[in-house]
A and B are shown apart, each in its own frame.
Chain A
Amino acid sequence: AQKITQTQPGMFVQEKEAVTLDCTYDTSDPSYGLFWYKQPSSGEMIFLIYQGSYDQQNATEGRYSLNFQKARKSANLVISASQLGDSAMYFCAMRGNSGGSNYKLTFGKGTLLTVNP
């Protein structure tokens, strides 16, 4: 079984500052993938970034980076230079890469990020 924990129900950040959204996970799979999705008020889940458990380097995509600490089982999302359009719900998710269910995503409860002007 897999579990994702996001302990921050809400976060506030000033425009142009950086913010870190926390995510811890638990799994018995030796190989797995970690994802972050953004969900604006329109409802669509937008894929942001992916980290494989065996990747040597932390993933980066533009202003998004994933601070992956395997020993601590954490996969925090860092957004640099926040913009007003970053205000949304952010979900951390994971997928086991082995076994018979290496396709279903398990999501956390999300963090609501508000960017203040």
Chain B
Amino acid sequence: GAGVSQSPRYKVAKRGQDVALRCDPISGHVSLFWYQQALGQGPEFLTYFQNEAQLDKSGLPSDRFFAERPEGSVSTLKIQRTQQEDSAVYLCASSLNSYYEQYFGPGTRLTVT
């Protein structure tokens, strides 16, 4: 079946612009996660959804970051007033529920100039 998909794959934004990154999880997966991967580093947790409920947003770096999953399927990560330090790959993952292995999408590479 189809895996996790993310769009766009690449995004270049000027500093100060708002961006929206989309994640389509595997059908039927209840849990959805967002991670941020800086260059040369491992992914770091940003936020977690169980269906449409955002149960943990402790990893979001600032209040410029906002995530939603209004119908319990597709999720959007929004970054307002982008800064250079926001440049990273943003990975989305989904799992059947929180206890099972997480399946990752290909990521969105965000470059802020």
Known contacts A43-B109, A44-B105, A44-B107; decide if A104 and B89 are in contact (CB<8 Å). no
Instruction: Assess the A109–B103 pair: CB atoms within 8 A.
Output: no
Mask: chain B, 50-80; 1 = CB below 8 Å from A; 0 = not: 0000001001000000000000000000000
Determine if A45 is an interface residue (Cβ-Cβ < 8 Å).
Answer: yes
B contact residues, total (Cβ < 8 Å): 26
For A107, the chain B residues whose CB sits under 8 A away are 42-44
Q: How far is the CB of A7 from chain B (nearest CB, A)?
A: 14
For A44, the chain B residues whose CB sits under 8 A away are 3, 104-107
For B41, the chain A residues whose CB sits under 8 A away are 109-110
- Contacting B42 at CB < 8 Å: which of A46, A47, A91? A91
Instruction: Assess the A105–B102 pair: CB atoms within 8 A.
Output: yes
Mask: chain A, 16-48; 1 = CB below 8 Å from B; 0 = not: 000000000000000000010100001111110
Mask: chain B, 13-26; 1 = CB below 8 Å from A; 0 = not: 00000000000000
- Contacting B91 at CB < 8 Å: which of A45, A50, A104? A45
Instruction: Assess the B43–A109 pair: CB atoms within 8 A.
Output: no
For B45, the chain A residues whose CB sits under 8 A away are 104-106
- Contacting A43 at CB < 8 Å: which of B31, B101, B106? B106
- Chain B residue nearest in CB terms to A44: B106
Q: Complex: how many Å from CA A63 to CA B61? A: 38
Determine if A103 is an interface residue (Cβ-Cβ < 8 Å).
Answer: yes
Instruction: Assess the B98–A93 pair: CB atoms within 8 A.
Output: no
Determine if B1 is an interface residue (Cβ-Cβ < 8 Å).
Answer: no
Mask: chain A, 39-61; 1 = CB below 8 Å from B; 0 = not: 00011111100100000000000
Instruction: Assess the B33–A103 pair: CB atoms within 8 A.
Output: yes
18 contacts between A and B (CB under 8 A): A4-B42, A35-B101, A42-B106, A44-B104, A45-B91, A45-B93, A45-B104, A46-B104, A47-B101, A47-B102, A47-B104, A50-B101, A103-B48, A103-B98, A104-B59, A105-B43, A106-B45, A109-B40
**Could you list which residues of chain B lie within 8 angstroms of chain A, going by C-beta atoms?**
3, 31, 33, 35, 40-45, 48, 56, 59, 89, 91, 93, 98-99, 101-107, 109
